[in-house]
Amino acid sequence: MENLTDPTSEQTTVLSNAEIADRLASLAQMLSSQKENPYKVKAYRRAAAHIRNLPESLDEMVRREEDLTQFVGIGAAIASAIREIVTTGTLTKLERLRGEASPAIAELSGHPRLDPGRVMRVYKKLNINSVRELRQLMESGQVERVFGNRMAQHIRQGLTETHAMLLYRADDLCQLIQEYLLSACHVSRAEAAGDYRRRVEVIEELVFVIETDDFPHVVERMKRYGGRTPLVGAGVDHASFALSSGILLRLQVAADEDWGFYMATCTGSKAHLKKLVSVTEPLRDLKQEGFTSEKSLYRHFGLQYVEPELREGHDEVERAEAGMLPGLVTAKDIRGELHAHSLSSDGVDSIEDMAEAARERGYEYIGITDHSQSLKIAGGVSVDDLWQQIHYIDKLNGKLRGLRILKSSEVDILADGALDYPDDLLKELDYTVCSIHSRFALDKKVQTERLRRAMDNRYFNILGHATGRLLLKRPGYEFDIERVIDQARQNGCFFEINSSPDRLDLSAENARRAAAAGVMIAVSTDSHSMGELDLVRCGLDQARRAGLQKANVLNSLPWNKLQRLFRR
């Protein structure tokens, strides 16, 4: 049946979702070079990103005249653009804009992630006009010397093809692929393994262990995921594909008898497996024995089961041998939220709505941490307005039952390490989150002293997104993390794991260090809307990778205990 309705002769002419997405991304870039409405530009970019993940072939859907607006981010205008791309191979609007643009701008459409405005500034100042020259000057360090680190980052990313994706984006993709394996490829079992299962924050490859009695059929079907997904390598029991979203997909066939062996080896990490086989037996012998589950594998060698998040080759194998693995923190340990914005600064929901959302999650408290006065671009709250907000929250708390709104602020740490409000105001807050939002480029020593000095203020409680990193966008600013952890320990300050999927800051590695020094860590969302409170799961993933237990996590405490810790 299937083969009859799917003439393979047509397959080569089918546009893949990736090719459609590329054209939409190029259009977004051309529109942005024309200073078009930024929302429109964003809508095209977002649609392009979403389309790359879809299993359904948009090309085939257009030919079958199906409705494309059923997908998130595809409205009537974008649907009609996709129809035009499929039927004509291009977009009149894109071609017209390219024709009108200077040759230098038109050339950029091959690199849709480059911002034309910024690139033109570089071209003008360095007196060049091609991507080839841009690449040379970036590699020689000239772009960074003249324009600084952020511009160099932007250019580097725009010129490098992306082969990585944020973990939370991979969550959606992973689910779509699992469904496709089960329903379209007819595998009887499919489980995600690899970095994804260990909850590594940036993913370059998705790995699935699958059970099937017809692997060639699975490979054929997978080649048609999203219209076309190229096969990049295959053997009798495994295959790799280049997904449209830029990352790889690897399939490994396993049977019921050796499911445990394949789940363990496909989950990794390499460092973990190396330690594991030093107390078990070589991999080839393990393979002979098979094991129907991972649990039976670990048990066979007298080891506690090791949660995937802990399999990084630290000390987990030794601890599993000694029966001393930590009981990792879970979502139900979380009693409240300590970093959330409202309409008062750059959030989109009112304090009341944020409180209601916290109550719906079963929380006991939520701290409202709007930006402080200096952060003007994010609607920083003036001294007078914060006084008013304090009184307002007191009034709300008088009426609320079962939930407490905590009076707080995300206070900027100024260049010299001073906090952005006077002490007599800070004193009225229940606690503070203090963060760096400016002067990222300070010298390492100066930046370290800035943070240490800020912690000397007795109203400093939690250091917000400690390193300022943005995953896949920019590295954190430089400072001596050990010295800052030491200062936090001495002064009774705390860290957070910021759950924003592109921050996850502290990293698991730094959170592990802080916890080892005895410093407690808040798992916070930095929510700017009610829905973002759910992102706590992303922070919990990292907390678990850091080996944190409930006792390490600040917001697992009830407010009365927390209150004592915040008073220095």
First-to-last C-alpha distance (Å) of the chain: 73
- Min separation Cβ 362 and Zn ion, Å: 23
Question: Pattern of binders to Zn ion over 394-413, x per CB under 5 A?
Answer: ----------------x---
- Min separation Cβ 507 and Zn ion, Å: 16
Instruction: Work out the burial of residue 396: count CB atoms within 10 Å of its CB; fewer than 13 is exposed, 13-18 middle, 19 or more buried.
Output: middle
- Min separation Cβ 437 and Zn ion, Å: 6
Q: Residue 336 — φ and ψ, nearest 5°?
A: -170, 180
- Min separation Cβ 500 and Zn ion, Å: 9
CB 25 within 8 A of CB 78: no
Stretch that binds Zn ion, among 40-48, 175-183, 250-258, 430-438 (CB under 5 A): 430-438
Which residue, 244, 247, 241, 248, is CA-closest to 221? Answer: 241
C-alpha to C-alpha distance for 294 and 277, rounded to whole angstroms? 14
Question: Of the two residues 306 and 463, which places its CB atom closer to Zn ion in the complex?
Answer: 463
Stretch that binds Zn ion, among 158-166, 449-457, 499-507, 526-534 (CB under 5 A): 526-534
C-alpha to C-alpha distance for 265 and 258, rounded to whole angstroms? 11
- Min separation Cβ 320 and Zn ion, Å: 37
- Min separation Cβ 166 and Zn ion, Å: 18
Question: Of the two residues 326 and 468, which places its CB atom closer to Zn ion in the complex?
Answer: 468
Would you count residue 532 as binding Zn ion (CB under 5 A)?
Answer: no
Question: Of the two residues 22 and 410, which places its CB atom closer to Zn ion in the complex?
Answer: 410
Q: Residue 309 corresponds to which tokens in the numbers above?
A: 């998040």
User: Measured at the alpha carbon of residue 6, what is the angle toward residues 5 and 10, in degrees to the nearest 5?
Assistant: 135
Would you count residue 435 as binding Zn ion (CB under 5 A)?
Answer: yes
Would you count residue 344 as binding Zn ion (CB under 5 A)?
Answer: no
User: Measured at the alpha carbon of residue 472, what is the angle toward residues 468 and 477, in degrees to the nearest 5?
Assistant: 25
Question: Of the two residues 275 and 371, which places its CB atom closer to Zn ion in the complex?
Answer: 371
C-alpha to C-alpha distance for 535 and 201, rounded to whole angstroms? 13
Q: Please, how many CA atoms are within 13 Å of residue 13, restricted to the half-sphere of its CB?
A: 10
Q: Total residues at the site for Zn ion (CB under 5 A)?
A: 3
- Min separation Cβ 526 and Zn ion, Å: 4
Task: Report in angstroms the alpha-carbon separations of 461 from 148, 373, 397, 562, 565.
Answer: 32, 18, 22, 11, 9
Question: Of the two residues 33 and 527, which places its CB atom closer to Zn ion in the complex?
Answer: 527
The H-or-E segment that residue 133 falls in is: helix 131-139
Question: Of the two residues 438 and 491, which places its CB atom closer to Zn ion in the complex?
Answer: 438
Question: Of the two residues 294 and 526, which places its CB atom closer to Zn ion in the complex?
Answer: 526
Stretch that binds Zn ion, among 120-128, 326-334, 427-435, 542-550 (CB under 5 A): 427-435
Identify each DSSP E strand in 204-283 by its residue range. 205-211, 231-234, 238-242, 248-253
Question: Of the two residues 349 and 526, which places its CB atom closer to Zn ion in the complex?
Answer: 526
Q: Which of 201, 333, 526, 541 binds Zn ion (CB under 5 A)?
A: 526
What does the binding site for Zn ion look like in residue numbers (CB under 5 A)?
410, 435, 526
